[in-house]
A and B are shown apart, each in its own frame.
Chain A
Amino acid sequence: MIKKWQLILLGIMVLFILSACSDEDGGNEAEGSEGSDGDITLEYWQYAFDSKVNLMDELIKEFEEENPGITVEQTTFPYDQYNEQVAAQVPAGNGPDVINLFYGWVPSYVDSGYLQPLPQDTFSHEEIENEFFPLVEATKLDGEYWTIPTAVRTLALFYNKDLFEEAGLDPNAPPETWDELQDYAVKLTKAEDNGRIEQSGLAWEPSQQGHHWLRDGLTYQAGGKVLSDDRKEVVWGEGSAGLEAFKYWLSFPGELGTSEQGFYTDDVTAFMSEKAAMNIDGSFRIGTLQSDAPDLNYAVAPLPAKDEKSTNASFWTNGITSDVEGEKLEAASKFIKFLTSEGVMEKWLDATGELPAKEAVAMQDKYVNHEIYGPFIESLPFANAHFFIDETKERDIVIDAANKVLLEEADPEEAFNEMVDSTQELYDEYWSDK
């Protein structure tokens, strides 16, 4: 008996010693690689998304060949834990030199001093404003550009051609107006006697793209807007456009009964499994549809509009962290400059389905007339990217407002006003520190 235990004890000790040794080695190696030969090593972080990660590996090789003396190390983390991973490194003084962030997160990162403004000698404001789509201004804060994207994405209407035909609709004439969209959605919905939806005309998920559609799509289409130009006032409630958009948005799961939250777990799943005939989704979905649902017979159209055209745009964007300086800062600027070059933008579109952030690259004929990318690119000139102070909270406020109406039968106008007020509170809090 005792011998067995002694053995185990011995085993533990050996393992402790082994692991202690192995980390010493690891530590030395890491230190050695940085300082030894005057090379600059840039640490680049982005979230784990296969096509982006693979493309980035190629791009890094290309960049390193063009710029001897600079090495770039790519590290990726799953989307869900990305912020957490960044946050854990800060108190320990570690982390990336160049970081890829969702644009909606940038204000909190800037606010806490995590990022530094892009150096103006490489990224002059004039150049950015001339070449890029104006929506990149969403990360212009305190008069500085803090980040710059390679690519942007817009929302458009995905529709299932087979289900259109089945319902007697022309698969080459997607809905173009608000009324048409409602009309089509009703025609494409199949419900059982007990009210259960069997097939949804329009997938409707406020927690996915739904809140973006409401904010940057419907509100602007009705002639309203969400934020004042100085980004301090939530003007969503001024005039009737905001409320009109909100009511229209809710009409699908509400009085029309064409949609249901959580229908086949989420909008993408419902659309892929042909349970939902239409969905409002982003260009980033094309790759997934190709790989996971290759037989799905679908097409894409610009968002149905009302008085004006508008759609939502969003982007992942590159910034430099605040303690990068000297030669390293130069290298980091060079790297971002490379990432936002025309050639990379074209490669990026081919590999990931995200649209070029520079107008001249995006508006080339080969892209505008592209069967799938066309409708997304066409929408770019009138796309809006809402300036988020806190993407999660603003999303939750919209979801809560919708649920109050749908689940607790609150008055839409009251729920809408409450939503506007809570959003305003967030902005007041943000600006009060300035």
Chain B
Amino acid sequence: MKPGKLLPYIALIIGAVVMLFPFIWMLSTSLKAPMDIFNLNIIPESATLANYIEVLQESMFIRWFLNSVIIAVITTVSVIFFDTLVGYIIAKFTFFGRKFLFIVILSTLMVPVEMLIIPWYMMSSELGWTNTYWGILFPGLMTGFGVFLMKQFMEQIPEDLLNAARIDGMNEFSIFFKIAVPQVWPAISALGIFSFLSNWNAFLWPLIVTESSSLRTLPVGLSYFSSGEAESQWHLIMTGATISVIPLILVFILLQRHIIKGIVLTGMK
């Protein structure tokens, strides 16, 4: 290979080491016995799966895991559907209050979640949503993030393409699904990853709104391993964190194909 072609590889490998190093540290900690985690060796002296067994046996880990999957999947599907639609409408239609609507949706991101928890809880309690799946997931059903992302990408679709379809007699719903959506698959995949991840990792709200341990999501369940005043059980936290990363990496591997696919102008069959 020519040195010019080798250069990107070298840069990427150096970067990859920096990116992976803390992660590998975490992984190796999860394989150490509690006493050993304070040794600074990266390779555990005697690797053990005891932590994994403890996490799986002494908690409702499987249940928490399933809860997280259910919640992340439902919210992600909802976010992809609604945010793509709203982003498309804001990008491609002119109607009264369009810009205002966009600013309002975007500005919903500028308030820290910590401050919305009290009103959300008051509302949930009033409507009987506390301690239910619906209560956990309702704030994540749509996000200004997705609307913004999809608007940016939808704007790049040539107007003529849509008009041509209109003259063809396609109705607006088909135009959206058959013409606009295939143009922005990379962005939709990115949105899917983002949404899945943020709901998978959501902590504060799921913690506040649930009481029974069978409704806990993974991050909420794992937070019970670190009990503030007494020492946190780092070996279990690291183990839990490692297990909970795996599905996210799988989702990413599954979706990454779409991210790079790029625009294929085959919208009209």
Segment from B42-50, B203-211, B244-252 that makes contact with A: B203-211
**Bound: A2/B134 CA distance, A:** 28
Residue A19 is within 8 A (CB to CB) of chain B in the complex: yes
A-B contact pairs, 28 of them (CB 8 A): A1-B177, A2-B174, A2-B177, A8-B81, A9-B81, A12-B74, A12-B78, A19-B132, A23-B133, A23-B134, A47-B227, A49-B227, A78-B207, A78-B226, A78-B227, A79-B229, A80-B228, A81-B208, A84-B117, A88-B121, A91-B122, A92-B122, A92-B124, A94-B125, A268-B231, A269-B38, A285-B231, A293-B34
List residues of chain A with CB within 8 A of the CB of B77.
8, 11-12
List residues of chain A with CB within 8 A of the CB of B124.
92
| Apart from A80-B223, A269-B38, A272-B231, 19 more pairs, CB < 8 Å | A5-B177, A19-B134, A19-B137, A27-B128, A48-B227, A75-B211, A78-B227, A84-B204, A87-B118, A88-B208, A89-B121, A91-B121, A92-B126, A93-B125, A264-B38, A269-B231, A285-B230, A287-B230, A295-B35
6 closest A-B pairs by CB: A79-B228, A273-B38, A23-B132, A27-B128, A92-B125, A19-B134
Q: A78-B226, A284-B230 are in contact. Are A292 and B122 (CB under 8 A)?
A: no
List residues of chain A with CB within 8 A of the CB of B178.
1-2
**Bound: A425/B228 CA distance, A:** 28
Q: Contact: A48 with B34, CB < 8 Å?
A: no
A52-107 contacts to B (CB < 8 Å): 75-81, 84-85, 87-89, 91-94
Looking at chain B's contact residues, is the secondary structure mostly helix, strand, loop, or mixed? helix
Q: Contact: B35 with A288, CB < 8 Å?
A: no
A358 CB to closest chain B CB, in angstroms?
23
Residue B29 is within 8 A (CB to CB) of chain A in the complex: no
Cross-chain contact of B74 among A5, A15, A94 (Cβ < 8 A): A15
**Bound: A5/B224 CA distance, A:** 39
List residues of chain B with CB within 8 A of the CB of A47.
227-229
Q: A23-B128, A78-B227 are in contact. Are A293 and B207 (CB under 8 A)?
A: no
Cross-chain contact of B129 among A23, A49, A88, A287 (Cβ < 8 A): A23
B99-134 contacts to A (CB < 8 Å): 117-118, 121-122, 124-126, 128-134
Q: Kindly report which residue of chain A lies nearest to residue B74, judged by CB atoms.
A: A15
Q: Contact: B125 with A78, CB < 8 Å?
A: no
Residue B233 is within 8 A (CB to CB) of chain A in the complex: yes
Cross-chain contact of B135 among A23, A79, A288, A293 (Cβ < 8 A): A23
List residues of chain A with CB within 8 A of the CB of B126.
92
Q: Kindly report which residue of chain A lies nearest to residue B73, judged by CB atoms.
A: A15
Residue A32 is within 8 A (CB to CB) of chain B in the complex: no
Q: Kindly report which residue of chain A lies nearest to residue B70, judged by CB atoms.
A: A15
Cross-chain contact of B128 among A26, A79, A80 (Cβ < 8 A): A26
**Bound: A294/B38 CA distance, A:** 14
Q: A8-B81, A15-B74 are in contact. Are A84 and B38 (CB under 8 A)?
A: no
List residues of chain A with CB within 8 A of the CB of B133.
19, 22-23
Q: Contact: B78 with A293, CB < 8 Å?
A: no
Interface size class of A (residues with CB under 8 A): 35 or more
Q: Kindly report which residue of chain A lies nearest to residue B34, judged by CB atoms.
A: A292
B129 CB to closest chain A CB, in angstroms?
6
Q: Contact: A77 with B135, CB < 8 Å?
A: no
Q: Kindly report which residue of chain A lies nearest to residue B269, judged by CB atoms.
A: A1
**Bound: A216/B192 CA distance, A:** 54
**Bound: A79/B77 CA distance, A:** 34
**Bound: A287/B227 CA distance, A:** 13
Digit string of A194-215 for contact with B (CB within 8 Å is 1, else 0)? 0000000000000000000000
List residues of chain B with CB within 8 A of the CB of A285.
230-231
A173-192 contacts to B (CB < 8 Å): none
Q: Contact: A85 with B207, CB < 8 Å?
A: yes
List residues of chain A with CB within 8 A of the CB of B39.
273
List residues of chain B with CB within 8 A of the CB of A27.
128
Q: Contact: B132 with A22, CB < 8 Å?
A: yes
Residue A20 is within 8 A (CB to CB) of chain B in the complex: yes
List residues of chain B with CB within 8 A of the CB of A15.
74
Q: Contact: A79 with B177, CB < 8 Å?
A: no
A110 CB to closest chain B CB, in angstroms?
21
Q: Contact: B81 with A12, CB < 8 Å?
A: yes
List residues of chain B with CB within 8 A of the CB of A89.
121
Residue A161 is within 8 A (CB to CB) of chain B in the complex: no
Residue A386 is within 8 A (CB to CB) of chain B in the complex: no
**Bound: A291/B234 CA distance, A:** 13
A275 CB to closest chain B CB, in angstroms?
7
List residues of chain A with CB within 8 A of the CB of B131.
26, 30
Q: Kindly report which residue of chain B lies nearest to residue A77, judged by CB atoms.
A: B207
List residues of chain B with CB within 8 A of the CB of A30.
131
**Bound: A298/B174 CA distance, A:** 74
Q: Contact: B224 with A48, CB < 8 Å?
A: yes
Q: Contact: B128 with A78, CB < 8 Å?
A: no
B165-200 contacts to A (CB < 8 Å): 174, 177-178, 182
**Bound: A26/B132 CA distance, A:** 7
List residues of chain A with CB within 8 A of the CB of B177.
1-2, 5
**Bound: A94/B204 CA distance, A:** 18
Q: Contact: A22 with B134, CB < 8 Å?
A: yes
